[in-house]
Structure 1
């Protein structure tokens, strides 16, 4: 039987990895701060990874597979010190945010990275992930570094992809505000495809876990079609959106999936290694259907971590009229 330790295991992605491991017959232990349950069938060790004793309960045994999803390089380094010698396999879930080259279309895993975060420094997400990757590479051919792109699916806490399902659903046949879509692409990976890959692949090295590239117009059009939206769509140019305080990509008062033209490579990366390693990519329409149903269940007018409120969207549409 495979013994798996997930450093996390209670979050959106890591809990799905845990459930997929359980389905394969593994025994799964999760190490997390608490506040959320671990999946049924797993065991949970409560620990604060900033505490020097965080790994004492789990460091006295061998592990077939350790999986870490942290974005704190210090936490990753401490885990490697405590557990690295006793892990047969180690998977670190990184991010395409490690890349400093967001211009090149089709760039692969050899693209330039941000400078790694300095120990104790206040560096950003990408730099922390780079420093963590560097630490994990000391394990050599026992390690897999997975760099996901935008992860989407039901239950997504970021609300980025789901915003568009909600926007078309809530409009009830009225217009929906879009960014300029010409020349822009979208590239997403379904959370269940990513969890399946992490749980089952034997690949090592570094892999971009990203989906197929689609024109942004096709993606938004597919969401609109599945929702059955019959209203108009109104595109606003970049200058109008910026002048009105609408942010790119994520966060409050944003239009998710909209990126500056100078970041055209951010969602246009190569997934050749992922597919060669057996990574699956379900049809985009299947993911969209799941997201639409999830948005209906969770509530299209709920507070969101990304996107515009309908009231704000309508104000912007009136200014464009």
Structure 2
């Protein structure tokens, strides 16, 4: 199978390339040649720009295209139209952020999608990220003549994750000592190992599937407690966990995601369903999951191999954490 990947040298793109090569398939990359240019010297890398320079895609054909880098509907429309007739399946990587809200538990693929307030916006780095992705899905479905596969992942984790949102926890627990964690330990978490996502995408292409899939995991939601235990075991750490009331954290201006990665306050009804996404359709189609222990161990091993010491993009520093723990003792 010959597969074109729009992008291909960051995180999910890397996982897709490696899974295709391992399966004996042929990945071909299309990008600007700016990110990790040294990777995959034996893989064909076509150079161009999604926004107006698709010349390198002319007079070529593939079995499928996987679009890992589509954020702006106008630009996604260009590639969908260009690749019609050049491949049988267009795979678009979307997100669960396309849903209109997370107030409901067990959100399935038919849940209403978010609407863009400003039809001229192309600012995918802010609040318009989800609505823009929803419009990108629409442009693919309207402009590509062939099978369309849309994957809506939740949080994607594992080695080479540029966000550091999951990586923070294996790293922090590996340092040992008292670790500040938002209470309660039973809080649901959902995420998917990037390698599991890549394998499922390739699986669905080969099955000649089409349609939309929510893709997150594990089969039953993990918890903050189970994640931290897996981190402690992977790191052979002596860390102990201090479960801090959410009200204390919010009163002290501790911010979800930026200060405490993965934390979605349970007292916020707006996000009650964020970690309760329905993945039954993907499970029936064969979505599989690596053990949590493997994802944690591999992520920690990768993080330790980074040139460094690398500064994580998220998570509070140790001094701030210590200050809060001391204050919480008197709370």
| Residue in structure 1 matching 2:286, options 278, 283, 305 | 278
CA contact (8 A) 1:117 1:128 kept: no
- In structure 1, distance between residues paired with 2:243 and 2:210: 43
Counting only pairs closer than 5 Å after superposition, residues 3-152 of structure 1 correspond to structure 2 as 3-35=2-34, 36-37=36-37, 38-50=39-51, 52=52, 54-69=53-68, 70-116=70-116, 120-123=120-123, 124-138=128-142, 139=144, 142-152=147-157
CA distance in 1, matches of 2:81, 2:170: 44
Matched, 1:178 2:181: yes
- Structure 2 residue matching 1:28: 3-state secondary structure: strand
Deviates more, 1:123-132 or 1:137-146: 137-146
Task: Say if 1:165 and 1:295, in contact at 8 Å, map to a contact too.
Answer: no
| Deviation readout 1:184-217 (Å, 9 max, x if unpaired) | 2001111111111112222210001111212222
- In 2, distance between residues paired with 1:162 and 1:194? 18
**RMSD of aligned C-alpha atoms?**
2.1
- TM, length-normalised to structure 2: 0.87
Does residue 159 (structure 1) correspond to residue 158 (structure 2)? The answer is no
Counterpart among 215, 219, 226 of residue 209 in structure 1: 215
Corresponding residue number in structure 2 for 1:240: 248
- Residue pair 2:190, 2:222 contacting (<8 A) in 1 also: yes
Distance 1:170 1:299 in 2: 18
2:240 and 2:87 map into 1 onto residues whose CA distance is: 55
Moved more, 153-162 or 135-144: 135-144
Q: What is the number of residues matched between the two proteins?
A: 313
Q: Secondary structure of the residue that 2:83 maps to in structure 1? A: helix
Give the drift of 1:170.
1.5
* Secondary structure of 2:159's aligned partner: coil
Instruction: Flag structure 1 segments of 5+ consecutive residues without an equivalent.
Output: none
Residue 256 of structure 1 aligns to a residue whose secondary structure is coil
Instruction: Give the TM-score normalised by structure 1.
Output: 0.90
Distance 1:237 1:89, change over 3 A: same
Q: Quick one: distance in 2 between partners of 1:120 and 1:11?
A: 28
C-alpha distance in structure 2 between counterparts of 1:185 and 1:299, whole Å: 33
Whether contact under 8 Å (1:31, 1:47) holds in the other structure is yes
CA contact (8 A) 1:141 1:204 kept: no
Shift of 1:101: 3.0
Q: Structure 1 runs of 4+ off > 6 angstroms?
A: none
